[in-house]
Amino acid sequence: MKPLRDLRPEAAPGPLPLAVRGLSVAYGERLVVDGVDAVFAAGKMTAIVGPNGAGKSSLLKAALGIVPRVAGQALFFGQPLAAVRDRVAYVPQRAGVDWDFPARVIDVVAMGLYGQLGLFGRMRCQHMTQAMDCLGRVGLTDFARRQIGALSGGQQQRVFLARALAQRADLIVLDEPFAGVDAATEKALVGVLHGLRDTGCAVVAVHHDLATVPVWFDAVLLINRRCIAEGPVATAFSEANIARAYAAIPANHA
């Protein structure tokens, strides 16, 4: 098995893992994301922060092509997503899937190997080892053969993270990874994410807890349908910017 990230030039300033330009999303006649420009750097953990309905998840989903965008573009490592799918891992909201589905924990993690296996490739011993290894990194080795519905919310979130790890991506995009999980899980998840960041991976997470932004994250994107502020936490995450992001949305756009 080849080492995890032997090919990544640490210092070389390659193309940005993710850059969105003028991205807009509308549901029916309602504009939920309005011309957002943002960049997400390698080796940084970036929080996307804003009030409910600010378009945080929609921004990511539109960038990833899950929901259609009405304007703008998203480039991953300087290319459209289709060209670099294996380098981009997505961790969706836990609430979005059917946990009653007949699958074991290890089966879900193994879905992350899809890029290696392709449509028809056979699951071999080495793939199983790889999946178990990822499960170990989130501390769930003993749960491999459990039915996914039998897990707690925090454990389910860790399974999703393990599936993303299996992909060995260098951009990982998480939608509310800490929603409804306990403090211990939160810490375990952050530990793994910091480990990824330290190897040069770009981590982008929709986040709702303002108090932990300065503790865990390096950079922040404050949005309220439009981009309010973007940059390192030290400068962009100021009282004034937070107040602007959480202020009432101008009525002419509603």
Partner 1 sequence: MLDALLLQSGYNATLVTLGAMMLGVAAGVTGTFLYLRKRALMSDAMAHATLPGVGLAFLLMVAMGGDGRSLPGLLAGAGISALVGLGCVQFLTTRTRLPEDAAIGAVLSVFYGVGIVILTVIQALSIGRQAGLEAFLLGATAGMLWSDAMLIAAGGAISAGLVLLFRRPLLMVAFDPDYASVRGLLPGRADLMLMALVLAVTLTGLKVVGLILIVALLVIPAVAARMWSDRAGVVAAIAGGIGGAAGYGGAAMSASAPDLPTGPLIVLLAAAGFVVSILFGRARGVIPQALARARMRTRLAGPA
Specify the stretch interacting with partner 1 by CB under 8 A; choose among 91-99, 124-132, 178-186, 206-214: 91-99
The rounded radius of gyration (Å) of the Cα atoms in the chain is 18
Coil, strand, or helix at residue 91?
strand
Which amino acid is residue 144, in one-letter code?
Answer: A
Residue 14 has phi, psi (to 5 degrees) of -65, 180
Interaction pattern, residues 42-61, with partner 1; x per rule: CB under 8 A: -------------------x
Contact set for partner 1, span 128-157 (CB under 8 A)? 147
Specify the stretch interacting with partner 1 by CB under 8 A; choose among 4-12, 101-109, 211-219, 230-238: 101-109
CB of 85 to partner 1, least distance (A): 5
Nearest to 105 by CA among 76, 68, 67, 147: 147
Residue 36 gets which letter from DSSP?
Answer: E
Coil, strand, or helix at residue 247?
coil
CB of 216 to partner 1, least distance (A): 24
The single residue among 3, 102, 125, 183 that binds partner 1, judged by CB under 8 A, is 102
Q: Which is nearer to partner 1, 9 or 96 (CB)?
A: 96
CB of 83 to partner 1, least distance (A): 10
Q: Report how far Cα 170 is from the mean position of its chain's Cα atoms.
A: 11
Nearest to 226 by CA among 252, 207, 201: 252
125 in contact with partner 1 (CB under 8 A): no
The single residue among 26, 35, 43, 104 that binds partner 1, judged by CB under 8 A, is 104
DSSP secondary structure string, 187-229? HHHHHHHHHHHHTT-EEEEE---GGGHHHH-SEEEEEESEEEE
Q: Write out the residues near partner 1 by the rule CB under 8 A.
A: 61, 64-66, 81-82, 85, 88, 90, 92, 96-98, 101-104, 107-108, 111, 114-115, 117, 119-120, 147, 163
